[in-house]
Amino acid sequence: MEITKIRQYQKRMDQFVVAVQLDLETDGFTYEKWGETQRCKPRDWIVNNNGEAYTVDAVTFAATYGEGASKGQFVKMGTVWARIALAAGSVRTKEGRSHYVAGDYIVSNNEDGSDSYCMKDDKFLGMYERTGRPADDEYPEPLGDTA
C-alpha cells in the first residue's frame, strides 16, 4: 500500500465548535454517519462543527479542545497530522469506522497515527493550515485500511 507524506497542521484561529458533554445517566446512543454506525458513550461530547454534528470521545475532547470566547464554544488546540488518501478506504475511530474516498484527508490527533478520522478535502483545507515545521516523516503503518 502506498503511503503519502504526513504533514502537520493546526486549526485556523477563526475556527471553533459548539459542544455539550453527554453528562447524563445513560448507556449512550448510536447513530449513522460516515457510512457506518457510530457510538456515543456516556461523557462523550456532541459537537457542531460549522453545521456538521458528530460526537467526540471524552478523553480525546479533553486532550484536544480548549474553551473558546463564549460559553459552549471550544477551539481545537495543538496540531494534527494528516495525509491525502490515494484510494478509497476506511479508518477506525473511537466512535466507529469512517469511510473516505481518494482525495480526502486522513487526520490523526497523534503523530504516531492513532486517534484518526477522515475529512473531505474542502472541509479540511477550510479549517486547517500547515504549521511552520516541515513534517516529511511517514507513519510506520497506514492510517486507514480498505476493510
pLDDT of 58-98, one tens digit each?
999 999 999 988 899 999 998 999 999 999 999 999 999 99
- For the entire predicted model, the pTM comes to 0.78
Distance CA 24, CA 92 (A): 26
pLDDT of 35-49, one tens digit each?
899 999 999 999 999
Q: Which three cell numbers stand for residue 50?
A: 460549522
pLDDT for the residue numbered 127 = 93
Distance CA 57, CA 65 (A): 11
Q: Which H/E stretch holds residue 60?
A: helix 58-64
Distance CA 99, CA 118 (A): 7
